[in-house]
């Protein structure tokens, strides 16, 4: 974190560091556990820490198992647009939905649960995938006087990307700490995500 002058108006946004996205999980992100020591080191440096948690009901519309004949990682069209189909993951109340046991969750003031509506997926900490249904995070951050978000966690090319881009859309400065993120990298999606974030004015910090 050297070179980053952390202010009271900064927030650390820790995205989806949950068992199902780690090595033994149903939607494992390569090298996911590598982010844990870095994130744990960052937490005490921030006055405001927010965590997100994927929180799907069983039979969620983003699960390939909900669409007969479809396989995980295929793309379908749902009423709100294109949707990648995933293995069942982060089902409410399951071990897979729990935060990784090595993540220091005590430092968080707010946990945003997302993806809990059966008919719509939610990557971003700010909006569901229709880009209009909000999580309420913007109002919380504004009332806390937050101006800049530092984004870390899983997965770089999906939930981190959408959260960082939406942070800019909502008027916040956004920094993605790349070493504290890992991506799924479907067909080069990590590079695409980094380009899209930069285009949106997100700072990518190594």
Span between the terminal Cα atoms of the chain, in Å = 9
**Selected catalytic residue, list 114, 121, 166, 181:** 114
CA angle 98, 102, 108 (to 5 degrees): 70
Two tokens at 133?
């249904």
- Report the alpha-carbon distance of residue 12 to residue 113 in Å, rounded: 16
Helix axes 189-199, 161-169, angle to 10 degrees: 10
Q: Residue 159 catalytic? A: yes
Which pair of structure tokens corresponds to residue 51?
């965590």
Catalytic-role residue among 54, 159, 166, 181: 159
- Annotated catalytic, 114? yes
Euclidean distance between CA atoms 174 and 152, whole angstroms = 11
Choose the catalytic residue: 10, 11, 16, 22: 16
User: How many CB atoms are closer than 10 A to CB 73?
Assistant: 14
Residues marked active site are found at 16, 114, 159
């Amino acid at each position: 974190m050297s070179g980053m002058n952390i202010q009271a108006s900064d927030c650390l946004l820790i995205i989806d560091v949950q068992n199902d996205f780690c090595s033994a999980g149903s939607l494992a992100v390569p090298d996911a556990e590598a982010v844990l020591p870095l994130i744990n080191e960052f937490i005490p440096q921030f006055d405001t820490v927010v965590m997100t948690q994927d929180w799907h009901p069983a039979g969620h519309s983003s699960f390939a198992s909900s669409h007969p004949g479809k396989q995980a990682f295929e793309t379908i069209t749902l009423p709100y647009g294109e949707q990648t189909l995933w293995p069942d993951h982060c089902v409410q109340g399951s071990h897979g939905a729990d935060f990784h046991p090595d993540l220091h969750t005590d430092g968080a003031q707010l946990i945003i649960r997302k993806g809990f509506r059966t008919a719509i997926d939610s990557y971003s900490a700010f909006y569901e995938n229709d880009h209009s249904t909000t999580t309420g995070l913007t109002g919380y951050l504004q009332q806390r006087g937050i101006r800049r978000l530092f984004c870390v966690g899983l997965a770089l090319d999906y939930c981190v990307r959408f959260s960082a881009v939406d942070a800019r859309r909502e008027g916040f400065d956004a920094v993605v700490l790349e070493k504290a993120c890992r991506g799924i990298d479907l067909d080069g999606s990590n590079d695409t995500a980094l380009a899209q974030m930069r285009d949106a004015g997100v700072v990518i910090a190594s």
